[in-house]
């Protein structure tokens, strides 16, 4: 039996899980037997992004727990079991199911529950608190029989809930007790504009409405009756009118509870019992509870630090926040209401563009105390840094909120920030951390995100992170050489633009005009790929053949023994019995190894270079065409069987997959591209791990972009929802062409996205809002590629001159006698070195 | 001893790329850079991948020296000397090669 102490964590919400993750990342991870209780059926998930559940995200997507986390770290988790009693005298926790655990240290992370106004009728059917995934499921089923929905509460979470109701196609009302939306974060001016913007989106907003009773409705299921005698008919009611700390278990065992609720903690996050900590929304610090996740994370960090013998304390939290509500940018910094004595206010109001900005500054006009931004929150990172770091304001602080009429930038240069400045509040990454990471060699945005985790939470600090990186690199005199190789002093994107603008059609021409020397495998392949992407000419044209990698030259994939694999296209993974038989017969005839791949087609291995043309002749005769497996190009569009056969299918995923594969086949790109189409949200085609992923939903198709399996898996980002097919194809045309034009060489879409300044929102603004006014051109370019498609094998087979290249030797009909196979599991495989030597010796 | 062997016609070569010839038991990779009127011959064996594939690599130059990049693992070999750029303990044989009229000739015993 180990002599470890036992640490019990009650609650596996966002903060409880963050505590466990921090603990396991610390040096004291082996000091404790860790046991945790989770009353919900699911371990920790992202409550902040709960409304994305309606936009097609699954409970798994929202999960904050890495697969195998509890097992790998030897943490015992009691799922679906609520800790109900703490016996402090014997130091035991007892659960509802009767589990008893003796603890040495106890951490309470019980969170909070939605506040339900204590009015008659509040528990009628279809009146639901908006808080957990279970609540959401209840809400989805209630919505099926509803036409109208009302959210009680116009705060942050209430507006998120309203968005969810709209996603469910309900006529939506927001009922706010007070006079303003987001009363804690916004002043009257900001709240008025937000109200107008929310109403423009089709949500009705009722303010100053005190609900006193809910009764049977006349046109709907319920009628809400307000104190001013007005009424609202609705079928569904969501409560999101604030939260109540879950302090029952603490109160029952005699821990001190704050007057306004919450378990009282000190700066060490200790409760009135020296062995019991409380963190997150259940805790009350300085008579304050915190309904945001960042302060909870700060408490979790402090407790881990103290358990490790450190002295980190929780000293309050900044409640500044920035968010996008149904596309409306809203941000609030510090003290937006100007409650600080003597504070002064600047206001900028632009009724034409729908922008409101307010600055609250100190009496001497030198320090920023608070800010409100509605309609344009781009200034938030700068303002937040002024506020958090007490940086002296410029002589005219209003310049920070007035639109700049010249090129002069009034933003705060990253150089002005102290090392202690927090850049990423989600993961508490300071400028100092970032500088250290840059010094250690992380000189790209992607590497920096990977190393520090900065900008991987809400992503709000991505632009600031980039400017810190640029500034530090410049200061360090590190010139980031972006030349692709010694022959071209250009980036891939530069080369693409040169080819496009000067209409250059060959490598030789580009080399003569803009390069030096003879080129190398880097620039040749890159430029060969760009030329193929843009002009889409036959890659084995005399002017192109010398810049192709061996795979493109021989239109097959070279394997480790110098033989090639042959991959015929099977659009969407569909193949006829006749096709399968033909492939089987050809494989048998040429003695090839056959394997079904992850891309839902059959690869044939072990073809010598001289066998490629006859093999392809037979494949073409059997109706197949090139699968482009050899190119940095579109590979496959994987699909599940879809609504045609599947009992659960929502739409015809195979049909769409075939159509898309036929549209984009042959498209050359900076790297390979994979698609998948799933016929419902069960997602059997694993579309979210693809560059382009499509999932059928009731309202149309949901589009995910920039996912990746491979060495570093990345889930695709949800890009647009409920699309019809025409719009879907338009968006894919644009995303792919933009990728082909702007990515670095050998950059997958996932890394391209990670390194893109502005990230997903920027890509959406380019592709959906046409911010750069290039969408027409992107579509035209893609259409050119689609219209000029050819099966490269068909072209090659028909040209005797091209076939000369497939001879093993120019002066002999012999074949390479060093290629030797042995048999394994009934098929060939390349001989290993010993087997080969043995075989050659026997022959001699 | 110098012995030139007739291998193929210039038409059999591929501009700015390679082909392979078999001379007795030896596989010879022949590369052609028509702009410089240059032709190179080295052994086709890739000592890293341990298979005969160098003729199928991309060619170009590194700081002015003509090179081929292995199609398998991308090491570079000097077309004049056969030396590997990345590892100076590794090299492949380089052979004499010349164009006489319309014919290409290789000399396994001679330098270029």
Write the CATH number for A432.
1.10.10.1100
Report the pLDDT value the prediction gives residue A408, as an integer from 0 to 100.
41
pLDDT at A340 over 90: no
pLDDT (tens digit per residue) in A325-337: 777 889 999 889 9
CB-nearest to A558 from B14, B15, B71 is B71
pLDDT at A501 over 70: yes
* Chain-centroid distance, C-alpha A398: 35
Q: Do A771 and A734 touch, CB atoms closer than 8 A? A: no
For A414, A495, A758, A766, A824, the CA distances from A772, given in Å and listed in that order, are 27, 20, 14, 6, 56
| Block residue for tokens 């927090």 | A422
* Cα angle for residues A445, A446, A450 (degrees, 5° grid): 115
**Mean pLDDT score across all residues of chain A:** 90
Instruction: Please check whether residue B112 lies inside any domain of the structure.
Output: no
Report the pLDDT value the prediction gives residue A1, as an integer from 0 to 100.
46
What is the least distance, in Å, from the CA of B44 to any CA of chain A?
A: 11
pLDDT at A115 over 70: yes
- A409 pLDDT band, cuts 50/70/90, is very low
Statement to judge: residues A650 and A578 lie in one domain:
yes
End-to-end CA distance of chain A: 66
User: Does the global pTM surpass 0.80?
Assistant: no
Instruction: Please check whether residue A842 lies inside any domain of the structure.
Output: no
Statement to judge: residues A160 and A236 lie in one domain:
yes
Chosen from B60, B78, B79, B104 to mutate, greatest number of chain A CBs within 10 A: B60
Q: How far apart are CA A431 and CA A425, in angstroms?
A: 11
Range of the domain at A442: 413-478
Domain final residue pick, A241, A263, A298: A241
Percentage of chain A lying above the pLDDT 90 cut = 63
Range of the domain at B46: 5-107
Report the pLDDT value the prediction gives residue A41, as an integer from 0 to 100.
87
Domain final residue pick, A373, A392, A408: A408
Instruction: Please check whether residue B68 lies inside any domain of the structure.
Output: yes
Total domain count for chain B? 1
Instruction: Please check whether residue B55 lies inside any domain of the structure.
Output: yes
Report the pLDDT value the prediction gives residue A29, as an integer from 0 to 100.
87
DSSP letters spanning A121-133: TTTSTTEEES-SH
pLDDT (tens digit per residue) in A240-271: 888 889 999 999 999 999 988 999 999 999 99
pLDDT (tens digit per residue) in A716-765: 999 999 999 999 999 999 999 999 999 988 889 998 998 887 789 899 99
Statement to judge: residues A583 and A708 lie in one domain:
yes
Instruction: Please check whether residue A163 lies inside any domain of the structure.
Output: yes
pLDDT (tens digit per residue) in A766-799: 999 999 999 999 999 999 999 999 999 999 999 9
What is the least distance, in Å, from the CA of B1 to any CA of chain A?
A: 23
pLDDT at A480 over 70: no
Report the pLDDT value the prediction gives residue A404, as an integer from 0 to 100.
61
Mean pLDDT of B70-94: 94
Statement to judge: residues A578 and A609 lie in one domain:
yes
pLDDT at A400 over 60: yes
Mean pLDDT of A411-438: 80
CB-nearest to A560 from B49, B52, B60 is B49
Report the pLDDT value the prediction gives residue A411, as an integer from 0 to 100.
53
Report the pLDDT value the prediction gives residue A412, as an integer from 0 to 100.
61
pLDDT at A18 over 50: yes
Statement to judge: residues A150 and A227 lie in one domain:
yes
Statement to judge: residues A10 and A105 lie in one domain:
yes
Greater confidence (A839 vs A819) lies with A819
Chain A positions touching B53 (Cβ under 8 A) are 550, 558, 562
Statement to judge: residues A608 and A515 lie in one domain:
no
Instruction: Please check whether residue A796 lies inside any domain of the structure.
Output: no
B74 exposure class (CB count in 10 Å sphere: 0-12, 13-18, 19+): middle
Q: Does A814 touch chain B (CB under 8 A)?
A: yes
- A459 pLDDT band, cuts 50/70/90, is low
Write the CATH number for B67.
2.102.10.10
| Block residue for tokens 């005219």 | A396
Q: Do A816 and B52 touch (CB under 8 A)?
A: yes
The SS3 assignment for A225 reads strand
Instruction: Please check whether residue A844 lies inside any domain of the structure.
Output: no
Instruction: Please check whether residue B38 lies inside any domain of the structure.
Output: yes
Instruction: Please check whether residue A57 lies inside any domain of the structure.
Output: yes
pLDDT at A406 over 70: no
Instruction: Please check whether residue A824 lies inside any domain of the structure.
Output: no
For A324, A812, A814, A817, B24, the CA distances from A843, given in Å and listed in that order, are 73, 20, 16, 10, 16
Q: What values do phi and psi take at A114, rounded to 5?
A: -70, 140
Q: How far apart are CA A44 and CA A450, in angstroms?
A: 23
Mean pLDDT of A376-401: 85
Total domain count for chain A? 6
Q: Do A818 and B8 touch (CB under 8 A)?
A: no
Report the pLDDT value the prediction gives residue A156, as an integer from 0 to 100.
82
- Tokens found for residue A731: 């968006």
Contacting residues for A767 by C-beta, under 8 A, at least 6 apart: A719, A731, A734, A735, A738, A775
Statement to judge: residues A137 and A258 lie in one domain:
no
Q: Does A554 touch chain B (CB under 8 A)?
A: yes
Q: Do A550 and B21 touch (CB under 8 A)?
A: no
The candidate with the shortest Cα–Cα distance to A455, out of A478, A480, A422, is A422
pLDDT at A382 over 70: yes
Mean pLDDT of A668-691: 95
Mean pLDDT of A136-144: 88
Write the CATH number for A640.
3.30.413.10
Domain final residue pick, A787, A806, A839: A787
pLDDT (tens digit per residue) in A158-208: 888 888 888 888 999 999 988 999 988 899 999 999 999 999 888 999 999
**Sign of the alpha-carbon torsion through A469, A472, A478, A479:** positive
Mean pLDDT of A535-559: 92
pLDDT at A669 over 90: yes
Contacting residues for A235 by C-beta, under 8 A, at least 6 apart: A126, A142, A145, A146, A147, A148, A149, A170, A217, A220, A221, A222
Instruction: Please check whether residue A795 lies inside any domain of the structure.
Output: no
Statement to judge: residues A651 and A735 lie in one domain:
yes
Chain B positions touching A485 (Cβ under 8 A) are none
| Block residue for tokens 């995934």 | A133
Which H/E stretch holds residue A730? helix A725-742
pLDDT at A280 over 50: yes
Statement to judge: residues A657 and A624 lie in one domain:
yes
Chain B positions touching A609 (Cβ under 8 A) are 56
Chosen from A484, A510, A512, A518 to mutate, greatest number of chain B CBs within 10 A: A518
Report the pLDDT value the prediction gives residue B111, as an integer from 0 to 100.
60
Which H/E stretch holds residue A692? strand A692-697
Contacting residues for A638 by C-beta, under 8 A, at least 6 apart: A572, A573, A598, A599, A600, A657, A674, A675, A676, A677, A685, A686, A687, A690
Q: How far apart are CA A253 and CA A389, in angstroms?
A: 41
DSSP structural state of residue A58: -
Statement to judge: residues A259 and A231 lie in one domain:
no
Cβ neighbours around A340 below 10 Å, total: 16
pLDDT at A302 over 50: yes
CB-nearest to B63 from A486, A525, A818 is A486
What is the least distance, in Å, from the CA of A449 to any CA of chain B?
A: 30
| Block residue for tokens 């028909």 | A798
Statement to judge: residues A68 and A136 lie in one domain:
no
Least confident of A122-126, A290-294, A486-490, A746-750: A290-294
Q: What share of chain A is helix, strand, coil (3-state, %, to 5)?
A: 35, 25, 45
């Amino acid at each position: 039996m180990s002599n470890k102490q036992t640490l019990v964590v009650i609650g596996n919400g966002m903060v409880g899980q963050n505590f466990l993750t921090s603990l396991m990342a610390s040096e004291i991870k082996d000091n404790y037997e860790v046991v945790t209780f989770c009353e919900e059926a699911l371990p920790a998930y992202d409550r902040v992004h709960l409304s994305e559940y309606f936009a097609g995200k699954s409970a798994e997507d929202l999960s904050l727990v890495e697969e195998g986390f509890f097992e790998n770290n030897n943490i015992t988790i009691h799922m679906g079991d609520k800790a109900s009693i703490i016996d402090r005298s014997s130091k035991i926790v007892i659960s509802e199911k009767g589990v008893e655990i003796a603890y040495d240290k106890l951490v309470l992370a019980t969170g909070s529950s939605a506040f339900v106004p204590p009015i008659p009728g509040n528990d009628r059917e279809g009146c639901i608190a908006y808080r957990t995934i279970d609540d959401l499921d209840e809400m989805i089923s209630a919505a099926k029989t509803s036409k109208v929905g009302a959210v009680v509460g116009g705060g942050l979470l209430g507006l998120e809930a309203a968005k969810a109701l709209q996603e469910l196609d309900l006529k939506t009302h927001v009922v706010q007790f007070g006079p303003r939306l987001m009363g804690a974060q916004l002043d009257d001016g900001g709240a008025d504009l937000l109200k107008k913007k929310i109403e423009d989106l089709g949500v009705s907003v009722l303010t100053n409405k005190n609900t006193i009773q809910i009764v049977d409705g006349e046109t709907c299921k319920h009628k809400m009756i307000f104190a001013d005698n007005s009424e609202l008919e609705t079928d569904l009611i969501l409560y999101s009118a604030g939260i109540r700390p879950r302090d029952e278990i603490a109160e029952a065992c005699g821990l001190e509870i704050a007057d306004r609720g919450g378990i009282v903690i000190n700066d060490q996050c200790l409760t009135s019992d020296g062995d019991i900590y409380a963190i997150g929304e259940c805790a009350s610090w300085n008579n304050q509870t915190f309904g945001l996740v960042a302060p909870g994370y700060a408490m979790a960090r402090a407790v881990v630090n103290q358990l490790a013998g450190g002295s980190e304390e929780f000293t309050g939290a900044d409640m500044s926040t920035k968010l996008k509500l149904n596309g409306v940018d809203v941000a609030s910094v510090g003290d937006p209401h100007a409650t600080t004595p003597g504070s002064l206010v600047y206001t900028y109001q632009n009724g034409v563009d729908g922008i409101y900005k307010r600055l609250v500054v100190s009496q001497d006009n030198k320090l920023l105390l608070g800010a409100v931004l509605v309609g344009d929150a781009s200034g938030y990172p700068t303002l937040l840094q002024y506020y958090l770091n007490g940086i002296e304001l410029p002589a005219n602080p209003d310049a920070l909120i007035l639109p700049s009429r010249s090129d002069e930038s009034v933003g705060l240069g990253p150089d002005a920030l102290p090392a202690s400045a927090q850049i990423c509040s989600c993961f508490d990454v300071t400028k100092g951390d970032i500088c250290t990471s840059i010094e250690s060699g992380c000189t790209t945005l992607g590497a920096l995100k990977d190393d520090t985790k900065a900008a991987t939470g809400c992503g709000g600090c991505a632009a600031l992170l980039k400017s810190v990186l640029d500034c530090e690199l410049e200061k360090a005199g590190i010139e980031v050489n972006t030349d692709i190789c010694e022959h071209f002093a250009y980036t891939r994107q530069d080369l693409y633009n040169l080819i496009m603008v000067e209409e250059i059609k060959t490598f030789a021409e580009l080399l003569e005009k803009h390069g030096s020397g003879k080129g190398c495998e880097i620039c040749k392949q890159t430029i060969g790929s760009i030329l193929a992407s843009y002009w889409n000419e036959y890659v084995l044209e005399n002017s192109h053949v010398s810049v192709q990698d061996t795979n493109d030259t021989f239109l097959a994939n070279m394997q480790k023994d110098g033989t090639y694999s042959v991959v015929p296209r099977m659009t969407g993974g569909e193949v006829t019995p006749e096709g399968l038989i033909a492939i089987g017969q050809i494989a048998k005839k040429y003695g090839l190894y056959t394997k079904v791949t992850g891309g839902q087609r059959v690869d044939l291995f072990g073809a010598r270079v001289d066998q490629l043309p006859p093999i392809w002749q037979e494949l073409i005769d059997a109706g197949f065409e090139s699968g482009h497996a050899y190119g940095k190009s579109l590979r496959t569009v994987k699909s599940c069987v879809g609504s045609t056969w599947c009992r659960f299918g929502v739409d015809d995923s195979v049909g769409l997959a075939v159509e898309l594969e036929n549209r984009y086949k042959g498209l050359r790109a900076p790297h390979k591209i994979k698609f998948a189409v799933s016929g419902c949200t069960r997602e059997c085609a694993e579309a979210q791990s693809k560059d382009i992923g499509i999932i059928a939903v009731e309202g149309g198709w949901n589009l995910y972009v920039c996912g990746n399996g491979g060495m570093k898996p990345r889930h695709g980002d949800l890009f647009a929802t409920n699309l019809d097919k025409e719009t879907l194809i338009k968006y894919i045309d644009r995303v792919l062409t933009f990728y082909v034009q702007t990515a670095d060489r050998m950059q997958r879409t996932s890394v391209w996205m990670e390194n893109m300044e502005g990230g997903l929102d920027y890509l959406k603004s380019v592709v959906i809002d046409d911010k750069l006014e290039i969408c027409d051109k992107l579509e035209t370019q893609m259409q050119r590629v689609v219209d000029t498609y050819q099966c490269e094998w068909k072209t090659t087979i028909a040209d005797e001159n091209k076939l000369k290249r497939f001879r093993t030797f120019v002066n002999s009909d012999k074949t390479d006698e060093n290629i030797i196979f042995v048999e394994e599991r009934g098929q060939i495989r390349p001989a290993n070195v010993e087997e080969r030597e043995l075989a050659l010796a026997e022959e001699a | 001893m110098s012995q030139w062997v007739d291998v193929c016609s210039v038409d059999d070569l591929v501009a700015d790329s390679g082909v392979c010839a078999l001379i007795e038991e030896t596989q010879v990779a022949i590369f052609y850079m028509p702009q410089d009127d240059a032709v190179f011959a080295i052994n086709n064996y890739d000592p890293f991948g341990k298979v005969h594939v160098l003729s199928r690599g991309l060619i170009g130059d590194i700081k002015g020296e003509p090179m081929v990049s292995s199609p398998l693992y991308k090491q570079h070999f000097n077309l004049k000397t056969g030396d590997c750029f990345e590892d100076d303990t590794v090299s492949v044989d380089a052979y004499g090669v010349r164009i006489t009229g319309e014919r290409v000739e290789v000399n396994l015993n001679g330098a270029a």
